[in-house]
Amino acid sequence: MKTLIVIREKDYGWLSPFFPGVNPLVMPVCNKPFIEFLIDFSILAGSSAIRIISDGPLNEVERYCEDGSRWGVDVSYASILGNDSIETVIEKNRKYCADQRLLIISGYLFIRYENRQELRHCFAMASGGTLAENERGSIVLAGTPEITGQLPAATPFSLVEFDSIDNYFRLSAEILKEYPSPYVLPGYCNEPDCHIGRNVVIGKGAEIRKPVIIGNNVQIMKGAVVGPSAVVGSNVIIDRESTVSRSILLDNTYIGEQLEVVDRIAAGNILVDPRSGVSIAMEDPHLLSSLPGSAHIGSGLFRYLFHAIVALLLILLLSLPYLMLVPLLKIQGKWKTGSFTFHDIRQGKNLRFVMPSIADEGGIGSLAKALSLDRFPMLFRALAGTIAVIGSFPVEVSHRLEAGYAATGYRPAVFSYAEAEDWPVNAEDSAIVEQFYAAHGSPVRDMVLTIKAFLNRIHSKVQ
């Protein structure tokens, strides 16, 4: 059997305004993307191949699902027009649909089921026709039964009402509390109703109240309370003495100190009341209330002096390798320079750098990169106070700088805090790490993290 999953943009139009930066097809429901629930259902029904079809963008879906090898099925993709009927969709995919029975899931649907074995038998014995439908879509089966037998008196699956932000909120809580077996991915905690992912740091005095599910790369700071009925995504920081209960925190969200998030959905700086449907953009002080203000000149001056000293020490340490290796790299054509313009920490201002790049093939290039000689010219900028020794990856002006990140976590530097951590170094993960250390950094911690970042670059080349 093969499956067509047909979802049009109008099917999820109710969800898009709440989270404009997230494709609703990969929107987390409890702890995994929506599309994965439909893939799971298709596999349990007996499908060996799945085609995801939409008139909207599928790039994020394709990045997540790839070719389906993680589930042991073939996953492919196709586009349609918004007004194409199901008959037209089948006709456009007739070669795909020709040789096997066909399961058609049409609409932005959530399907509830419990008995996996019964589900497989039901589809194997069912005749063609509509098996379930509501105002939002349907499940249709085409083709002759695979086996003969007595169908169960009641269909072993049903369609859940899923057409409002309140339904989305309720469904996530319901999955967490009442339907852990078919839906909730395994965690790394052996306790019932407590699913915890990888690289989760729980501070002293922090409390986890079941049921709860926590993703990967999460920091729960001292005195924070998470749960009950909390769904926490990946790359999340819950700061000191904050409470998150009966709420959903989506990926890449920072909750500031002494905040209470109850019966809400938080995504970045967006806070949603699911019952009323009201959505507000939280101002920076509410998200990151412990950030030092610009009026703290004394601490800023002390931090600059600390950074200048660290920059000077690194200049002294790297001067000899720089003078020895760079001329050789230039002769070999492995030392290239280019002009770049970055966002400054001061809004509306830019930084212009001439930065080198090193082709690290071969011993000299690898050694130079391991010693961070490509960052050596930037150390003089740090010495002058134009940039920090450690902070954020400089963001080029060709890339938009998010307003919240610019105000709370962005500080262009020679090294990034993300390079000192073991988190995956991509733009989203880096931003959340940088926001955390912007709020909780200190000159001494900056020095330690600079050393870690420097050594991590050496270690990455030695491996």
Give the domain ranges of the chain: 2-162, 186-287, 297-462
Confidence of residue 282 (pLDDT cuts 50, 70, 90): low
Mean pLDDT computed over 12-37: 90
pTM, entire model: 0.68
Report the pLDDT value the prediction gives residue 348, as an integer from 0 to 100: 57
In sequence order, the β-bridge partners of residue 278 are 273
Report the pLDDT value the prediction gives residue 400, as an integer from 0 to 100: 64
Least confident segment among 58-67, 264-273, 366-375, 428-437: 428-437
Report the pLDDT value the prediction gives residue 286, as an integer from 0 to 100: 42
Answer whether residue 295 shows pLDDT above 50.
Answer: no
Mean pLDDT of the chain: 83
Q: Looking at the domain 186-287, which fold is it?
A: UDP N-Acetylglucosamine Acyltransferase; domain 1 (2.160.10)
Give the number of C-alpha atoms closer than 13 A to the C-alpha of residue 188, restricted to the C-beta side.
Answer: 10
- Nearest-angstrom CA–CA distance, 77 and 68: 11
Confidence of residue 148 (pLDDT cuts 50, 70, 90): confident
Report the pLDDT value the prediction gives residue 407, as an integer from 0 to 100: 46
Answer whether residue 159 shows pLDDT above 80.
Answer: yes
DSSP-derived 3-state class of residue 418: helix
Q: Tell me the torsion sign for CA atoms 41, 43, 44, 47.
A: positive
Contact 228, 175 (CB under 8 A): no
Query: Tokens standing for 65?
Result: 């699902």
Report the pLDDT value the prediction gives residue 402, as an integer from 0 to 100: 54
Confidence of residue 180 (pLDDT cuts 50, 70, 90): low
Least confident segment among 119-128, 151-160, 187-196, 242-251: 187-196
Fold identical between 2-162 and 186-287?
no
Contact 80, 104 (CB under 8 A): no
- Nearest-angstrom CA–CA distance, 100 and 103: 10
Mean pLDDT computed over 352-359: 85
Mean pLDDT computed over 174-191: 68
Confidence of residue 441 (pLDDT cuts 50, 70, 90): low
Answer whether residue 291 shows pLDDT above 60.
Answer: no
To the nearest whole percent, how much of the chain has pLDDT over 70? 84
| Domain 2-162: CATH superfamily, name plus number | Spore Coat Polysaccharide Biosynthesis Protein SpsA; Chain A (3.90.550.10)
**Other CB atoms within 10 A of residue 84 CB:** 17
Report the pLDDT value the prediction gives residue 290, as an integer from 0 to 100: 30
Confidence of residue 347 (pLDDT cuts 50, 70, 90): low
Mean pLDDT computed over 102-130: 86
- Pick the residue with more confidence: 191 or 274? 274
Report the pLDDT value the prediction gives residue 457, as an integer from 0 to 100: 81
- Nearest-angstrom CA–CA distance, 272 and 314: 47
Mean pLDDT computed over 303-331: 91
How confident is the model over 216-237, as pLDDT tens digits?
A: 888 898 899 998 999 998 888 8
Mean pLDDT computed over 115-122: 80
Answer whether residue 444 shows pLDDT above 70.
Answer: yes
**Other CB atoms within 10 A of residue 405 CB:** 22
Amino acid sitting at position 397: V
Answer whether residue 46 shows pLDDT above 70.
Answer: yes
Query: Tokens standing for 192?
Result: 């019932």
Answer whether residue 275 shows pLDDT above 60.
Answer: yes
Confidence of residue 78 (pLDDT cuts 50, 70, 90): very high
Answer whether residue 302 shows pLDDT above 80.
Answer: no
How confident is the model over 376-435, as pLDDT tens digits?
A: 999 999 998 888 899 888 888 877 655 444 445 578 899 988 888 765 556 666 767 777
Contact 14, 163 (CB under 8 A): yes
Mean pLDDT computed over 429-449: 75
